[in-house]
A and B are shown apart, each in its own frame.
Chain A
Amino acid sequence: MTDPESLLDDIASDIMVADIEDLPGLSRIYEKLEKMAAQSKDHGILPNALTACAELIKKIILNEVPDKNSSWKVINEALTVIQGIVRDGHPSEAAVFPAELGLAPVGSQSIGAVSETMPEEEPPENSIINLAGADASLTSDFINEAREHLASAEQNLMDLETGSDYDGAINAIFRSFHTIKGAAGFLDLKPILVVAHESETLLDLGRKGTVHIEGALADVAFDSIDVLRRLMDGAEEALAKGGEFNGAKIISSILKTLRQIIKDPSVIPVRAVRERVGDKLIDMGVVSQDKIDEALEKRKDPEERIGETLVKQGLVPAKTVAKALREQQQVRRDKSTGATVKEMVKIDTERLDRLVDTIGELVIAESMVGQDEELLGNASHKVARNISHLNKITRELQEMGMAMRLVPVRATFQKLARAVRDLTRKSGKAVELKMHGEDTEVDRSIVELIGDPLMHMIRNSVDHGIETTEERSKTGKPAIGTVNLRAYHKGGNIHFAIEDDGRGLDKAKITAKAVERGLIEPGREMTDQEIYTLIFLPGFSTAAKVTEVSGRGVGMDVVKRNVEAMRGSIEITSEAGQGSNFIMKLPLTLAIIDGMLVDIEDEKYIIPTLSVVESLSLTPDMISTVYGRGELINLRGELLPLVRINQLFGLYPNGATDKQESTVVVVEENTRKIGLVVDKLLGQRQTVIKSLGGTFARQKWISGGAILSNGNIGLIIDIGGVISLASEIDARGNDGDYNHASDPVANRSVREFTTAEATASEPEMAGV
Chain B
Amino acid sequence: MNETGTAKQKTRVGSLEKAGKYLTFKLAGEEYGLEILKVREIIGVMDITHVPRTPVYIRGVINLRGKVIPVLDLRAKFGLEKAEQTDQTCIVVVEVRTGEGTLQMGILVDAVSEVLDIKGEQIEDAPAFGADVNTHFILGIGKVESGVKILLDIDAVLTEQEIPMLENLSEGK
* Residue positions of A touching B, CB distance < 8 A: 356-358, 360-361, 364, 564-565, 567, 603-604, 648-651, 690-699, 701-702, 705, 707, 710-715, 725
Interface bits B96-119 vs A (CB < 8 Å: 1, else 0) = 001010010100000000000000
Q: Which among A697, A705, A710, A712 is the interface contact of B166 at CB below 8 angstroms?
A: A697
B51 to chain A, nearest CB (A): 6
9 closest Cβ contacts across the A-B interface?
Answer: A357-B66, A694-B166, A649-B52, A697-B169, A713-B49, A694-B169, A690-B68, A695-B70, A360-B66
Binds A, one of B25-33, B57-65, B132-140: B57-65
Docked-complex contact B68 and A705, CB < 8 angstroms:
yes
Instruction: Please classify how large the interface on chain B is, using the bins under 10, 10 to 19, 20 to 34, 35 or more.
Output: 20 to 34
Docked-complex contact B54 and A603, CB < 8 angstroms:
no
Docked-complex contact A361 and B66, CB < 8 angstroms:
yes
Docked-complex contact B65 and A698, CB < 8 angstroms:
no
A127 to chain B, nearest CB (A): 40
> Is B82 an interface position by the 8 A CB rule?
no
Residues of chain A contacted by B2 (CB below 8 angstroms): none
Docked-complex contact A707 and B66, CB < 8 angstroms:
yes
* Residue positions of B touching A, CB distance < 8 A: 46-47, 49-54, 58, 61-63, 65-70, 98, 100, 103, 105, 162, 165-170, 172-173
Bound together, the chains give a CA A147 to CA B41 distance in angstroms of 42
Bound together, the chains give a CA A710 to CA B46 distance in angstroms of 11
Docked-complex contact A696 and B63, CB < 8 angstroms:
no
Bound together, the chains give a CA A705 to CA B66 distance in angstroms of 11
10 new A-B contacts, CB < 8 A, other than A360-B66, A603-B49, are A357-B65, A694-B168, A695-B105, A697-B173, A698-B168, A705-B49, A705-B61, A707-B66, A713-B62, A713-B68
Bound together, the chains give a CA A715 to CA B61 distance in angstroms of 9
Between B47, B52, B100, the greatest number of chain A beta carbons within 10 A of the residue's beta carbon is seen for B52
Residues of chain B contacted by A651 (CB below 8 angstroms): 50, 52
Residues of chain B contacted by A714 (CB below 8 angstroms): 49
Q: Which among B54, B69, B167, B172 is the interface contact of A699 at CB below 8 angstroms?
A: B54
Docked-complex contact A697 and B165, CB < 8 angstroms:
yes
Docked-complex contact B65 and A361, CB < 8 angstroms:
yes
Which DSSP category, helix, strand, loop or mixed, fits chain A's interface?
mixed
Docked-complex contact B47 and A712, CB < 8 angstroms:
yes
Bound together, the chains give a CA A573 to CA B59 distance in angstroms of 44
Docked-complex contact B103 and A694, CB < 8 angstroms:
yes
Docked-complex contact A696 and B65, CB < 8 angstroms:
no
A247 to chain B, nearest CB (A): 36
Bound together, the chains give a CA A694 to CA B163 distance in angstroms of 8
Residues of chain A contacted by B47 (CB below 8 angstroms): 710-712
Q: Which among B62, B98, B165, B172 is the interface contact of A696 at CB below 8 angstroms?
A: B165
Docked-complex contact A693 and B49, CB < 8 angstroms:
no
Given contacts A697-B166, A707-B66, contact A692 B172 (CB under 8 A): no
Bound together, the chains give a CA A604 to CA B100 distance in angstroms of 31
User: Which residue of chain A has its CB nearest to the CB of B66?
Assistant: A357
User: Which residue of chain A has its CB nearest to the CB of B100?
Assistant: A694
Residues of chain B contacted by A693 (CB below 8 angstroms): 68-70, 103, 166
Bound together, the chains give a CA A548 to CA B18 distance in angstroms of 62
Bound together, the chains give a CA A650 to CA B50 distance in angstroms of 11
Given contacts A565-B172, A694-B103, contact A712 B49 (CB under 8 A): yes
Residues of chain A contacted by B65 (CB below 8 angstroms): 357-358, 361
Bound together, the chains give a CA A356 to CA B165 distance in angstroms of 28
Residues of chain B contacted by A702 (CB below 8 angstroms): 51-52
Docked-complex contact B68 and A695, CB < 8 angstroms:
no
Bound together, the chains give a CA A564 to CA B173 distance in angstroms of 9
Residues of chain B contacted by A705 (CB below 8 angstroms): 49, 61, 63, 68
Residues of chain B contacted by A358 (CB below 8 angstroms): 65-66
Residues of chain B contacted by A565 (CB below 8 angstroms): 172
Q: Which among A364, A604, A692, A725 is the interface contact of B68 at CB below 8 angstroms?
A: A692
